[in-house]
């Protein structure tokens, strides 16, 4: 007899049923350890599916009650621990129930289900948990950046383009620009959550079931915001997984860019900032070294996240009828991307408050290499009613002359400006020393940028009001999502209690 003894039941892939020999474990793994990220979601689906089957009278209520009682006993012992011991991956619930209650009872749980929707539900539950945590961590980093931004609105420093000094700004303004990016990262994750938190339950593998499953009831019990309308789409189109990978990879990419900035500011040549020792290491031979290990991890792990995204695209390029076992590679890459991005956000939120700006040195450097040149040209436009391009060319000559003669910007005189003007169009400009010195002051440069979104401290303080308001909205949205899922979990337990009465 091919039917397994229920006490030793090891799953539906019994040798001699459809296949004459066991599948090599290296080819297909259905272990609970391999499916560890999905066990919690599978357990939730097991309970919700049983509740729905009982309420719709698709299985005898007494047998649904027996299985729900057994699942609560599993929880009392430790859900994850038991499912790992039982093995069977996402099917570990069925294996546990058949071993404990026999196939006549435990064998009924899979009515109307497939590995398809069992896996799809479990993966979406894991994705939404990761996305909520990602949004929460993003908001923590936004808060840190807003606080550090406000504290450093007067920390004038050089801004860079093409790795060269470009224009003066402040460290606080720089931090606020990063907070702006994280706002978009939050919005991206939030938008992804809306698409992820839709229920594929009841879709089986392609067409659902001819049993009258109540897909909406299962979705409500599981805390999904809606039901995917097409059962084929629910199982075989995995674009929302790529959405999640993009959300995680973009966070990783942005943190890597900022790690590069911090790394440059920390170099011996720049010396704009110091970072806490706990984020650094040293050398076994060069005892003077303080190596920014955390920044290097942030940069390198972004490469892995981007590589994972490419893995996802490559897996899903196949036709929908081909995608099945190979999707495991996509999801392994996705879970890894989430883990790295969550870790990196935690590090980043801890690092930024410890960044120590070298204010005097940054301010000195902000005016040392002509980053303020555009304001000298602007003064010529304002004071002498000169066309911008004419002023631009005169100041370009002025900069060249100062470098050729070893004259610092702070030492430039109106006479040198006139010499540059004579070289360009044969006419002196007669700029006053007072106007010239104000134009050469990097602090004045920053303070003059009062336009909307500019770096002037007064404008940054106005923008901080809006930044903080949007952050509060994001924090409230995350709390609402968490509350909604907690309510759904409580509703499922109440439904079980009602059946057990």
Helix (H/G/I), strand (E/B), else coil: 378: helix
The residue ranges of the chain whose pLDDT is under 70 are: 1-16, 18, 20, 26-30, 319-326
Q: Write down the pLDDT at residue 173.
A: 98
Residue 470 sits at φ, ψ, to 5 deg, of: -70, -35
Residue 229 sits at φ, ψ, to 5 deg, of: -75, -30
Nearest to 248 by CA among 317, 200, 196, 212: 196
Helix (H/G/I), strand (E/B), else coil: 158: strand
DSSP letters, 285-326, are: S-TT--B-HHHHHHHHHHHHHHHHHHHHHHHHTS-TTT-STT
Q: Write down the pLDDT at residue 324.
A: 63
Report yes or no on whether pTM surpasses 0.85: yes
C-alpha span between 64 and 67 (Å, rounded): 5
Q: Write down the pLDDT at residue 327.
A: 78
Helix (H/G/I), strand (E/B), else coil: 239: helix
Residue/partner pairs of 447-450 with CB below 8 Å, 24 or more apart: 448/375
Q: Which residues contact 452 (CB under 8 A, 6 or more apart)?
A: 459
Torsion region of 385: left, alpha or beta (phi above 0 gives left; psi -120 to 50 gives alpha): left
Residue with tokens 């805390």: 223
Query: What are 261-318's pLDDT values in tens digits?
Result: 999 999 999 999 999 999 999 999 998 999 999 999 999 999 999 999 998 888 887 7
Helix 115-151 to helix 39-55 angle, to the nearest 10 degrees?
130
């Amino acid at each position: 007899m091919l039917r397994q003894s229920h006490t030793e039941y090891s799953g539906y892939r019994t040798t001699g049923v459809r296949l004459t020999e066991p599948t090599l474990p290296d080819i297909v793994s259905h272990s609970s350890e391999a499916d560890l990220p999905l066990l919690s979601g599978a357990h939730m689906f097991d309970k919700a599916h049983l509740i729905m089957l009982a309420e719709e009278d698709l299985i005898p209520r007494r047998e649904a009650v027996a299985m729900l009682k057994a699942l609560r006993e599993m929880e009392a012992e430790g859900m994850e621990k038991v499912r790992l011991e039982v093995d069977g991956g996402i099917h570990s619930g069925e294996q546990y129930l058949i071993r404990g209650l026999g196939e006549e009872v435990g064998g009924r749980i899979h009515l109307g289900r497939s590995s398809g929707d069992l896996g799809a539900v479990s993966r979406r539950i894991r994705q939404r948990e990761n996305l909520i945590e990602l949004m929460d961590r993003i908001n923590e980093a936004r808060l840190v950046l807003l606080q550090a931004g406000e504290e450093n609105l007067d920390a004038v420093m050089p801004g860079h383009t093409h790795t060269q000094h470009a224009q003066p700004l402040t460290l606080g303004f720089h931090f606020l620009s990063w907070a702006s990016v994280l706002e978009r990262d939050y919005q991206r994750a939030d938008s992804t959550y809306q698409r992820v938190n839709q229920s594929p339950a009841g879709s089986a593998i392609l067409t659902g079931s001819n049993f009258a499953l109540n897909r909406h009831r299962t979705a409500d019990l599981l805390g999904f915001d809606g039901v995917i309308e097409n059962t084929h789409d629910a199982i075989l189109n995995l674009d929302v997984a790529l959405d999640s990978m993009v959300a995680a990879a973009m966070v990783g990419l942005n943190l890597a860019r900022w790690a590069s900035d911090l790394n440059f500011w920390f170099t011996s040549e720049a010396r704009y900032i110091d970072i806490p020792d706990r984020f650094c290491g040293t050398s076994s031979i060069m005892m003077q070294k303080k190596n920014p290990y955390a920044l290097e991890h942030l940069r390198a792990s972004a490469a892995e996240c981007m590589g994972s995204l490419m893995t996802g695209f490559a897996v899903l390029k196949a036709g929908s009828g081909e995608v099945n076992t190979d999707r495991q590679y996509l999801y392994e890459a996705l879970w890894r991307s989430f883990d790295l991005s969550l870790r990196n956000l935690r590090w980043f939120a801890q690092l930024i408050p410890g960044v120590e700006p070298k204010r005097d040195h940054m301010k000195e450097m902000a005016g040392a290499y002509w980053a303020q040149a555009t304001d000298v040209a602007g003064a010529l436009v304002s004071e002498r009613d000169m066309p911008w391009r004419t002023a631009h060319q005169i100041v370009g000559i002025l900069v060249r002359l100062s470098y050729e003669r070893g004259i610092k910007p702070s030492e430039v005189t109106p006479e040198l400006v006139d010499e540059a003007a004579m070289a360009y169009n044969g006419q002196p400009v007669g700029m006053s020393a007072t106007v010239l010195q104000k134009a050469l002051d990097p602090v004045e440069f920053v303070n003059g940028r009062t336009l909307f979104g500019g770096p002037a401290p007064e404008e940054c303080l106005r923008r901080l009001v809006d930044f903080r308001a949007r952050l509060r909205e994001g924090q409230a949205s995350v709390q609402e999502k968490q509350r909604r899922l907690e309510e759904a979990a409580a509703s499922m337990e109440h439904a079980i209690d009602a059946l057990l009465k």
